[in-house]
Amino acid sequence: MQSIKSLSTTVIVLLCCLTGLLAQPYRPSAAINARVETLLSKMTLEEKIGQLTLYTTDWGSTGPTIREGYKDDIRKGACGNLFNSHSTAFVRELQKVAVEETRLKIPLLFGFDVIHGYKTIFPIPLGEAASWDLEAIEKSARVASTEASAAGLNWTFAPMVDISRDPRWGRVMEGAGEDPYLGSRIAEARVKGIQGKKLGDPDAMLACVKHFAGYGAPMGGRDYNTVDMSEKYFREFYLPPYQAAINAGAATVMTSFNDYDGIPASGSKFLLDQILRKEWGFEGFVVTDYTSINEMVMHGVVANDKEAGELALNAGVDMDMQGGIYQAYLKKSLQEGKVTQAQIDEAVRRVLRLKFELGLFEDPYKFCNAEREKNTLLAPAHRAAAREVARKSIVLLKNDQEVLPLKPSQKIALIGPLADNKTELIGNWNGAGNFNDCVSLKEGLSGANMQYAKGCELDGADRSGFQEALRIAGQSDIIVVAVGEKANISGEATSKTQINLPGVQEELVLELCKTGKPVVVVLMNGRPVVIPGIAEKANAILETWWLGTEAGNAIADVLWGKYNPSGKLPMSFPRSEGQIPVFYNEKSTGRPFDPNSKWTSKYIDESNSPQWPFGYGLSYTSFAYTTPKASVETATTRGIPSGKQVKVWVSVTVSNTGKVAGEEVVQLYIRDLVGSTTRPVKALKGFRKIMLQPGESREVRFDLTADDLSFYRSDNTFGMEPGEFDIMVGGSSNDVKSVRIRVN
Ligand code: BGC
């Protein structure tokens, strides 16, 4: 291949990506406010409370059903919103009740968890985050929204932006991993993709940022468990992605199940009023998570359901998901003076505004066009987009002796419980996806000189398939073995204490390694896994998450080298569960690790470092970085407002030193050497994904903003402090070069 030695155009990296700059927090127009007031003045108290009520319908085995009594509730105006009802026919049937049989003809909102695709399923969100490709992630959300809005829906319970450093928590699969900066940029991209050009377009849905707040930090990694940490820590590491999503225009917010600082999120004035509305200026509506108002009784902060409803409304919850508390008790609470009419009216306004914004009053059936539904779902362009994102989401964790990519002449032994599987590959939270539409790895590799054996099941102790697997391995030049998790063991309510591969899968891989044939492990899972044996013995490892409808094609593209892997881990992979939480941006301790001193921060039976760190991922080519240069040694930042650029930039030249073209994620980290509160040893503040031809070099420039250098200081204010900063650039959080600057 021709080598191009050039120093091409400088790439200017604006640390606020374009998405963030263009988008605005949601603001209702004066015209909409006026329409809301007119409608509000005609509403009875019951009708108002109905707008604050959200119930689920069921998709039973025989099709869509609506629970007993709900249609009557809709008719009376006592239920103004539904979820889990999709497809144009079903939505139309229910919407008809609202707009033809109710007094005020207020249309219903239809919500659904469209988490990584509606019918065309994209990689799970954690997988997509590994692409570090904001355009691709936005496109994925756009396609999901285009399909879902063609199937009757106008509201999705996404994006999930909960930062998590605990892979025991099964819901890490739904988020963007451990880092607030990456998480924030991805949150913006997803909101933009979901809400499209503007609310009111026929293919735009309301986004719902969830779960506000701190849901990703349950103690012990146990789902629904309590959350507690200092406010500074919470604001620095957990809150940024929610705020980024609000700034990108997210119209709605969902509360979380957990408490924070002793108050359940659905009853927290601090979260919903102080932070969300007062500090961030959020003007959309807040919905609870599933029955989380009721659960405040079990949290033990209120004595009964009625008090729970009062706590929620007083805190700033607008809509009650599935709990029926507002419907049952708000009237009485109002009569008793526990809540006010003004509070109820304000919550109703927030809901109605968005119904107007969506254009539902002009055409309540605008999302119910059966023809559009038929032509949109699984459209070839959507599948193509899914394949593209899926390839980008794959992370090459190991590739000794360059056993990958595969060579067409090689005889392949394709082995493993996930090699010929479709059901698990669309992952958890798979919308209206059908696994039959999914391409398995075996199908993706069809045409290859290949034999197949399952080897073992995804769980259980049955080793009877090992023999056949070893037999075909013996006849091959290279072994490709697909192992991982069932889709139902990562996701909600799937916390685990052991995050290794279930059953005898690791044993199967290790047996295959003993054959001496090169072994390529294809991992398919929803969370970081602990696989020390495989990490050591396998020759190559590809982390492919659950990649969705086009999984098999995307993995085959990477295995054959038709696509050069470019993914980087959005979350650290521990060596053992005892290290959890293990993450890259930890704070400085007074006794940092020193291999020569016992009395420093470490384990005596395990290294401090994870198996593979945040930001890590290999390529079929190699990249070289120069030491970064700063535009000035000393930057003046005084008087520069938050969000604005300070007059310093850092540049680095990245070269493709290998034989094939490839993309590299150039990552920028900073460390504030002395702060009035302890600072992280490294914090991501920018990244740029660039494509380089073999021999090509490119200068990448990062402009620093005041926010990048700011933090929550000892007096609880957010801002910069003069002093020295290390600015680090590299291709992984554990592989950087640095330059020191002074800020005064
Ligand atoms: C989950 C939410 C989801 C909701 C509605 C809850 O159990 O925590 O993430 O949006 O159900 O399906």
Out of 546, 579, 612, a domain closes at 579
Residues near 27 by beta carbon (within 8 Å), at least 6 away in sequence: 283
Q: How many CA atoms lie within 13 A of 337 on its CB side?
A: 0
Residues 632-643 have pLDDT tens digits of 888 876 666 665
Q: Are strands 645-656 and 395-399 parallel, antiparallel or unpaired?
A: unpaired
Mean pLDDT of the chain: 95
Q: Record the tokens describing residue 156, joined without a space.
A: 């999705």
Q: What pLDDT sits at residue 643?
A: 57
Q: How many CA atoms lie within 13 A of 598 on its CB side?
A: 0
| CB distance 295 to ligand 1 below 6 Å | no
Residues 173-190 have pLDDT tens digits of 999 999 999 999 999 999
Q: What pLDDT sits at residue 14?
A: 38
Q: What pLDDT sits at residue 639?
A: 62
Q: What pLDDT sits at residue 294?
A: 98
- Cα–Cα separations (whole angstroms), residue 662 to 522, 563, 696: 21, 9, 10
| CB distance 157 to ligand 1 below 6 Å | yes
- Cα–Cα separations (whole angstroms), residue 160 to 116, 167, 190, 210: 11, 16, 9, 5
**Do residue 652 and residue 575 come from a single domain?**
no
CA of residue 113 to ligand 1 center, whole Å: 7
CATH at residue 388: 3.40.50.1700
Percent of all residues in the chain with a pLDDT value above 70, rounded to a whole number: 95
Choose one of 84, 113, 173 to mutate for the ligand 1 pocket test, by most ligand atoms within 8 angstroms of C-beta: 113
**Do residue 351 and residue 455 come from a single domain?**
no
Residues 99/361, Cβ–Cβ less than 8 Å: no
Q: What is the mean pLDDT of residues 484-500?
A: 97
Of 91 and 8, more confident: 91
Inform me whether the pLDDT recorded for 20 exceeds 50: no
* 254 falls within a domain: no
* 45 falls within a domain: yes
Residues 122-147 have pLDDT tens digits of 999 999 999 999 999 999 999 999 99
Inform me whether the pLDDT recorded for 646 exceeds 90: no
**Do residue 540 and residue 665 come from a single domain?**
no
CA of residue 54 to ligand 1 center, whole Å: 13
**Do residue 384 and residue 484 come from a single domain?**
yes
**Do residue 462 and residue 534 come from a single domain?**
yes
Question: Ligand 1, atom 6: nearest CA belongs to which residue?
Answer: 290
CATH at residue 668: 2.60.40.10
Question: Ligand 1, atom 11: nearest CA belongs to which residue?
Answer: 290
- The ligand 1 atom at the shortest distance from the C-alpha of residue 257 is 8
Q: What pLDDT sits at residue 19?
A: 40
Question: Ligand 1, atom 8: nearest CA belongs to which residue?
Answer: 289
Least reliable range by pLDDT among 66-70, 273-277, 518-522: 66-70
Residues 323-377 have pLDDT tens digits of 999 999 999 999 999 999 999 999 999 999 999 999 999 999 999 999 999 999 9
CA of residue 439 to ligand 1 center, whole Å: 28
* 20 falls within a domain: no
Q: What is the mean pLDDT of residues 146-161?
A: 98
- Radius of gyration in angstroms for the set of CA atoms belonging to the chain, rounded to a whole number: 26
Would you call 303 helix, strand, or coil by DSSP?
A: coil
Q: What pLDDT sits at residue 22?
A: 54
Kind and range of the H or E element at 242? helix 240-247
Q: What is the DSSP letter of 168?
A: T
Residues 658-704 have pLDDT tens digits of 999 999 999 999 999 999 999 999 999 999 999 999 999 999 999 99
Question: Ligand 1, atom 10: nearest CA belongs to which residue?
Answer: 157
Q: What pLDDT sits at residue 637?
A: 66
**Do residue 423 and residue 355 come from a single domain?**
no
Choose one of 289, 320, 429 to mutate for the ligand 1 pocket test, by most ligand atoms within 8 angstroms of C-beta: 289
CA–CA distance, 140 with 131 (Å, rounded to integer) = 12
| CB distance 290 to ligand 1 below 6 Å | yes
**Do residue 350 and residue 474 come from a single domain?**
no
CA of residue 81 to ligand 1 center, whole Å: 15
* 303 falls within a domain: no
Put the strands of the sheet holding 662-672 in their side by side order: 634-635, 735-743, 723-732, 662-672, 683-692
* 134 falls within a domain: no
Q: With bands split at pLDDT 50, 70 and 90, how would you rate the model's confidence at 618?
A: very high
Q: With bands split at pLDDT 50, 70 and 90, how would you rate the model's confidence at 23?
A: confident
| CB distance 55 to ligand 1 below 6 Å | no
Q: What is the mean pLDDT of residues 492-519?
A: 98
Inform me whether the pLDDT recorded for 5 exceeds 60: no
| CB distance 289 to ligand 1 below 6 Å | yes
Inform me whether the pLDDT recorded for 301 exceeds 70: yes
Q: Record the tokens describing residue 233, joined without a space.
A: 């820590």
Domain housing 413 = 378-579
Q: What is the mean pLDDT of residues 148-152?
A: 98
**Do residue 556 and residue 655 come from a single domain?**
no
Question: Ligand 1, atom 2: nearest CA belongs to which residue?
Answer: 289
**Do residue 554 and residue 631 come from a single domain?**
no
**Cis peptide upstream of residue 116 (ω within 30 degrees of 0):** no
Q: What is the mean pLDDT of residues 219-245?
A: 98
Q: Are strands 662-672 and 683-692 parallel, antiparallel or unpaired?
A: antiparallel
CA of residue 291 to ligand 1 center, whole Å: 10
Question: Ligand 1, atom 7: nearest CA belongs to which residue?
Answer: 290
Least reliable range by pLDDT among 26-30, 56-60, 395-399, 732-736: 56-60
CA of residue 368 to ligand 1 center, whole Å: 24
| CB distance 113 to ligand 1 below 6 Å | yes
Q: Whose CA is closest to 532, among 571, 499, 580, 568?
A: 499
Q: Which residues are part of the catalytic machinery?
A: 289
CA of residue 204 to ligand 1 center, whole Å: 21
CA of residue 301 to ligand 1 center, whole Å: 22
Amino acid at 550: E
**Do residue 355 and residue 392 come from a single domain?**
no
Q: With bands split at pLDDT 50, 70 and 90, how would you rate the model's confidence at 382?
A: very high
Inform me whether the pLDDT recorded for 2 exceeds 50: no
- The ligand 1 atom at the shortest distance from the C-alpha of residue 211 is 9
Domain count, the chain: 3
Out of 579, 602, 631, a domain closes at 579
Question: Ligand 1, atom 12: nearest CA belongs to which residue?
Answer: 113
**Do residue 383 and residue 355 come from a single domain?**
no
* 525 falls within a domain: yes
Q: What pLDDT sits at residue 507?
A: 98
* 33 falls within a domain: yes
Inform me whether the pLDDT recorded for 290 exceeds 80: yes
Residues 567-608 have pLDDT tens digits of 999 999 999 999 999 999 999 999 999 999 999 999 999 999
* 253 falls within a domain: no
**Do residue 531 and residue 413 come from a single domain?**
yes
Q: Is 537 exposed, middle or buried (0-12, 13-18, 19+ CB in 10 A)?
A: middle
Choose one of 157, 171, 206, 286 to mutate for the ligand 1 pocket test, by most ligand atoms within 8 angstroms of C-beta: 157
Percent of all residues in the chain with a pLDDT value above 90, rounded to a whole number: 92
Out of 377, 397, 429, a domain closes at 377
| CB distance 210 to ligand 1 below 6 Å | yes
Q: What pLDDT sits at residue 632?
A: 86
- The ligand 1 atom at the shortest distance from the C-alpha of residue 160 is 9
